[in-house]
Copies of this chain bind each other. A is one copy, B any other.
Amino acid sequence: MDGFNFSTEVAVRFAETDAQGIAHHASFVVSLEVARVAYLAEHAGGYLSIQAGGIEALTTEVQLAYRRAAYFDERLLVWTRCVDLRGARFRYEYVVARAGEVVADGSTSHATVDAVTRRPTRVPAWFVDAVARAEALPAL
């Protein structure tokens, strides 16, 4: 997937299907989160590293376009990249693919806040560096 260095696989769970016989659209929002967690585990010590610094990342926006239906037990690759880190904000972009075909694409925006006060706090420098390294990797 052009421009993406990272992907993680999710399988459509039966509980995620709906009476239209397809993966329910809300389940993709959770799949994007699974992909972010996998991205952080691969590149930045996991979400627990962020929390260890007394920081939580809140989700401030979700945008998803559904291109094709996905079905029970299908393996989907969630291509994921972290972009636009600035101050207390960053964004992820995603392409959800099945056998090279786009099933959905979208983005999520996030804000880092102090875990206790919930006030905005800058993205830690180590996280900015880790993402810079991850995104500079040659494409898979």
Contact = CB atoms under 8 A, between A and B. Distances in A.
A66 B73 contact: no
A137 interface: no
A59 B18 CA distance: 12
Contact of A21 (B14, B19, B37, B59): B19
Interface residues of A, number: 36
Stoichiometry, as copies per complex, reads 4
Interface in A41-65: 41, 46-48, 56, 58-65
A29 interface: yes
B18 A18 contact: yes
Chain A interface mostly: mixed
A46 to B, nearest CB: 7
A69 B56 CA distance: 13
Nearest to A26: B29
Interface of A: 13-15, 17-22, 24-26, 29-30, 33-34, 37, 41, 46-48, 56, 58-66, 69, 71-73, 118
